[in-house]
Chain A
Amino acid sequence: MTFIHPLALLGLAAAAIPALLHLLQRRVPPELDFPAVRYLSAAERESARRLKLRHLLLLILRTALIIVIVLAAARPLVRVRGGGAHEPTALVVVLDNSPSSGAVVNGRLVLDRLRVEAHSSISRTTSADRVWLMLADGVLRGGTREALLASVDSVTPGWQRLDIVQAVERASRLVNAQPSPGREVHVLSDLQRTALVPGRADVPRGVRVLALEPGRAVPNRGIAAVHVTEGAAVIELAGSTAGAVTTEPVPVTIRIGGERGERDRGEIAARGLATPGDRADSGLSGSVVTVSLPAQSLAPGWWVGEAALEPDELRADDRRRFAWRVATPARVTATPAAGGFVAAALAVLREAHRVADGTGRDVVITGGESPTGTRSILQPPSDPALVGQANRGLASRGVSWHWGLSGSPGPIVAPQVSIIDGVQVTRRYRLEGAGAGDTLATVNGEPWLIRSGTLVLLGSRLDTAWTALPAAPGFVPFVDALVNRLVRGEADVTMAEGAPRVEFRLRGADTVGATVFGPDPRESDLTPASASVAIAALGGEERAEVLNDSAFASEGFSGTRRADISGLLLGLALLLAFTDLGVATRTR
């Protein structure tokens, strides 16, 4: 219980007045002669118990009356479940406007429902509260209530995925740092299972996490990724069935080119059918559709395309853009010292028309010799005695990098060349140098694959005595990437979260890579987490609650909700006063 005017409680000392008056009055009563004292004594003997009870009752009533009046003057605030004002509260409203919030359930946007509750939560704050709004971008927005309400009203489904567990953890840390008596995090999300399962938020004691119960699950299918190769496009599907078994194939269309300004360069349009899986709970999720593309009809260069499904409840994942580099195969030559594995890989690539023979040599793969071609891929010599000679050859080409001492074995870490990521290296030279150069892969934190100008240096030979790479399935694609992309200075096409678009990376006038933006494929799975999973992920049963709409509205701020009961106390005081009057008169 708290008080609006706590100083008024000093008046509680007045509660002693009835007892003091009683004692003071009893001290010196006037003395009078009265012959009939014997009658008085008899009357008093008969009434002693009643009078004692009456005195006690009156003393209690009058003391209680003063206490109640003083308490009413102090304006006490008591905790109530519904209604009433709340104590100052630090509140973070986590409004999940991730792509999945754009799903339509029962003819209504999921985000609309979340926005209404967010609006309600913020509307109920007072000037004494501190409020932040966190959207799917993870940014904590402070400000006045009106500003935050305006932000809520203007929120639309975004393209970023919200890690709810991490968001709740951040929000709870923020509110826990506030000196306010109340600390709450309101989570307004569709509580996708995929967004909650991985972890558990560490919510400090004293912070309440209230999550809105997710609505009805709806089936959805979406495009998770598109990979275009020569003659075919591989489309990965994602989604959820919401318990409905889908047996009909789903048409998928793909279009490359044909955008404004590209019509004269060519266009490809194709169509395929995605067949649902045999598991009712997976539906299209995990399905892969391969759409055959017509014979090569596009000019070399970077192309932008789009794969599309028929519209469903969630439109954001029905289309996905992609970038495709159409290039003539590189003309590659490998020196004898390059090794047999390289030669075998090139033979495979040649058969697949990924590399070509020709009069000129675009790329030369060496095994320790000095670089001779326009672009060279250099392996260290197999004989350690030749390392110095090879280093001198590099220096003569003006390359600032060279092979150093032997390095320790370890796995390859190659974020830009994901196909070799994690492959074990048993023998290597340290690549030492400075200045211009891109580190494409490392082993034990030391450079292992370096691009410097038109050269690419490897820390190990592409031999099973040095590394497990030649025996790995990604070896041929790695060699393909080396000769067709890495040595040219081109980066891989990377995927990023964001509004659907393709951004090209430029180096000078050349396009060296592309980033394709789109929604996270996990957003396509609209299956909500169960209440127990959600509670566990949001801090556990002691901290978190998953509530339906009405309970959410009533539970918000309930931990610190206070009602002024001074009116009730005044009513009680009136009742006490009447009771006192009744006892004082009727028992006389």
Chain B
Amino acid sequence: MEGFLAGLHRSPFRGFSLEFTEHRAYQAGDELRYLDWRILGRCDRLFVKQFEEETNLRSMILVDASRSMAWRGSPERLTKRAYADRLGAALALILLRQRDATGLVTFDEQVRQVIPARVKAGQWTRIVRGLLDTPDGQGTAAHAALQRLTALLARRGMVVLISDLLFDRDLALAALRYLRHRGHQVVVFHLMDPAEVELEGPPEVRFRDPESALSVVVRPRELARAYADTVRREIAAWRTACRRHGIAYHHVQTDMPFGMALRLLTT
């Protein structure tokens, strides 16, 4: 068993615990106490019993705090960052309630807050405070911070990334692939404001990227269709790439109720 408290989740590790799962041939070095004597008596062959043990989950919630997250398309809606904070806090509460060790990492260009995964009392409060204490970032190269994060997540567990994914997809995927390679279960929540999905605005407008000096003058009405197509292709590209690498991908718009977003994680 990995960790110190049995949780509700199946452990990814085969071990010797209470729940028998299967037999395997004995190998030199195996503990003799797990030998199945009955088979030995009947068949005169050496098998050891294997057990699957319930274990607690180590979850790390990674919240993108870059500047692009501090945007909303309408005053009636939450910013992506606010939505991500609430979604992260809710997720942390659920995990902690089921006794999973849960931690938090916020990042923009740099790693801003790191709250190690714990299951002790007050952890949720610390996570919430960590979210509140993380200002809106300035940086744009979130994928760089993501790559650095992989070094911090040494112990295998679940990694939940909540981000608008407005960074270099290949670099970000490389980092996520690395986490997956390290044995982490990776879940990506791709946050988008509805206004980022359907382009609207005045007849002609200069849209400025808050993270960079990039700006572009467009007529939203005439570019809306091409933009929507581009967004759909981008989402599809993320989904395909994540699926290829065993990463769970969920597209979430900030007008989506939190319950629905959380349910995505359990399905």
A22 to B208, CA, bound (A): 22
A126 to B199, CA, bound (A): 64
Specify the chain B residue showing the minimal Cβ separation from A47.
B226
A40 to B222, CA, bound (A): 12
B223 touches A43 (CB 8 A): yes
Assuming A29-B217, A43-B227, is B222 touching A38 (CB within 8 A)? no
A35 touches B68 (CB 8 A): yes
Q: Please indicate which of the listed interface residues A33, A36, A54 has the most CB atoms of chain B within 10 Å of its own CB.
A: A36
B223 touches A47 (CB 8 A): yes
> Chain B 192-213 against A: per-residue CB contact (8 Å), 1 yes, 0 no?
1000100101111111111110
A31 touches B208 (CB 8 A): yes
B216 touches A40 (CB 8 A): yes
A40 touches B227 (CB 8 A): yes
Assuming A43-B227, A44-B223, A588-B221, is B211 touching A30 (CB within 8 A)? no
A29 to B201, CA, bound (A): 11
Chain B contacts with A in 100-121, Cβ cutoff 8 A: none
A40 to B200, CA, bound (A): 12
Assuming A44-B216, A44-B223, is B71 touching A35 (CB within 8 A)? yes
A25 within 8 A of B: yes
> Chain B 169-212 against A: per-residue CB contact (8 Å), 1 yes, 0 no?
00000000000000000000000100010010111111111111
Among B192, B204, B230, the residue within 8 A (CB) of A29 is B204
Assuming A40-B199, A46-B226, A47-B223, is B216 touching A33 (CB within 8 A)? no
Please give the distance in Å from A16's CB to the nearest CB on chain B: 20
Chain A contacts with B in 533-588, Cβ cutoff 8 A: 587-588
Please give the distance in Å from A9's CB to the nearest CB on chain B: 32
A-B contact count (CB 8 A): 93
A26 touches B225 (CB 8 A): no
Specify the chain B residue showing the minimal Cβ separation from A54.
B222
Specify the chain B residue showing the minimal Cβ separation from A50.
B226
Please give the distance in Å from A353's CB to the nearest CB on chain B: 119
B19 within 8 A of A: no
A41 within 8 A of B: yes
Residues of B within 8 A of A39 (CB): 196, 227, 230-231, 234
Residues of B within 8 A of A32 (CB): 201, 205-208
A29 to B68, CA, bound (A): 22
A40 touches B202 (CB 8 A): no
B206 touches A30 (CB 8 A): yes
Please give the distance in Å from A33's CB to the nearest CB on chain B: 5
A38 touches B214 (CB 8 A): yes
**How many residues of chain B are within 8 Å of chain A by beta carbon?**
37
A43 to B199, CA, bound (A): 11
A34 to B211, CA, bound (A): 9
B204 touches A31 (CB 8 A): no
B229 within 8 A of A: yes
Specify the chain A residue showing the minimal Cβ separation from B192.
A36
A42 touches B207 (CB 8 A): no
Assuming A39-B230, A39-B234, A40-B216, is B211 touching A588 (CB within 8 A)? no
Specify the chain B residue showing the minimal Cβ separation from A35.
B68
B35 within 8 A of A: no
Q: Please indicate which of the listed interface residues A43, A44, A47, A587 has the most CB atoms of chain B within 10 Å of its own CB.
A: A43
A51 within 8 A of B: yes
Residues of A within 8 A of B231 (CB): 36, 39
A41 to B206, CA, bound (A): 12
B207 touches A38 (CB 8 A): no
B248 within 8 A of A: no
Specify the chain B residue showing the minimal Cβ separation from A46.
B226
B226 touches A31 (CB 8 A): no
B226 touches A43 (CB 8 A): yes
Specify the chain B residue showing the minimal Cβ separation from A584.
B222
Specify the chain A residue showing the minimal Cβ separation from B73.
A34
A38 touches B218 (CB 8 A): no
**How many residues of chain A are within 8 Å of chain B by beta carbon?**
24
A37 within 8 A of B: yes
Among B199, B206, B221, B234, the residue within 8 A (CB) of A31 is B206
A43 touches B166 (CB 8 A): no
B54 within 8 A of A: no
B53 within 8 A of A: no
Residues of A within 8 A of B85 (CB): none
Specify the chain B residue showing the minimal Cβ separation from A25.
B204
Residues of A within 8 A of B234 (CB): 39
B216 touches A29 (CB 8 A): no
Please give the distance in Å from A405's CB to the nearest CB on chain B: 111
Residues of A within 8 A of B192 (CB): 36
Chain A contacts with B in 40-73, Cβ cutoff 8 A: 40-44, 46-47, 51, 54
Residues of B within 8 A of A38 (CB): 166, 209, 214
Specify the chain A residue showing the minimal Cβ separation from B196.
A36
A44 to B199, CA, bound (A): 12
A43 touches B68 (CB 8 A): no
Assuming A36-B166, A588-B225, is B215 touching A31 (CB within 8 A)? yes
B222 touches A33 (CB 8 A): no
A40 to B220, CA, bound (A): 10
A33 to B192, CA, bound (A): 15
A512 to B231, CA, bound (A): 121
A124 to B253, CA, bound (A): 78
Among B201, B215, B222, the residue within 8 A (CB) of A37 is B215
B229 touches A40 (CB 8 A): no
A39 to B227, CA, bound (A): 7
Assuming A38-B214, A41-B216, A44-B226, is B205 touching A31 (CB within 8 A)? yes
Residues of A within 8 A of B199 (CB): 40
> Chain B 226-245 against A: per-residue CB contact (8 Å), 1 yes, 0 no?
11011100100000000000
B225 touches A35 (CB 8 A): no
Residues of B within 8 A of A42 (CB): 230
A588 to B80, CA, bound (A): 29
A35 touches B210 (CB 8 A): yes
B204 touches A40 (CB 8 A): no
> Chain A 5-27 against B: per-residue CB contact (8 Å), 1 yes, 0 no?
00000000000000000000110
Assuming A32-B208, A46-B230, is B223 touching A37 (CB within 8 A)? no
B226 touches A33 (CB 8 A): no
Residues of B within 8 A of A36 (CB): 166, 192, 196, 231
A54 to B221, CA, bound (A): 13
A32 to B209, CA, bound (A): 9
B153 within 8 A of A: no
Residues of B within 8 A of A35 (CB): 68-69, 71, 80, 164, 166, 196, 209-211
Please give the distance in Å from A449's CB to the nearest CB on chain B: 106
A30 touches B223 (CB 8 A): no
A452 to B223, CA, bound (A): 115
B207 touches A40 (CB 8 A): yes
Please give the distance in Å from A75's CB to the nearest CB on chain B: 36
Residues of B within 8 A of A33 (CB): 71, 207-210
Specify the chain A residue showing the minimal Cβ separation from B230.
A43
Across the A-B interface, the 4 shortest Cβ-Cβ residue pairs: A35-B68, A34-B207, A37-B209, A43-B226
- Give me 14 A-to-B residue pairs in the complex whose CB atoms sit less than 8 angstroms apart, sorted by A's number: A29-B204, A29-B206, A30-B206, A34-B71, A34-B210, A35-B69, A35-B71, A35-B164, A35-B196, A35-B209, A35-B210, A37-B208, A37-B209, A38-B214
For the complex with contacts A32-B206, A44-B223, 16 further pairs of A-B residues with Cβ separation under 8 Å are A25-B204, A29-B202, A29-B205, A30-B205, A32-B205, A32-B207, A35-B68, A35-B80, A35-B164, A35-B166, A38-B166, A39-B230, A40-B216, A44-B216, A44-B226, A46-B230
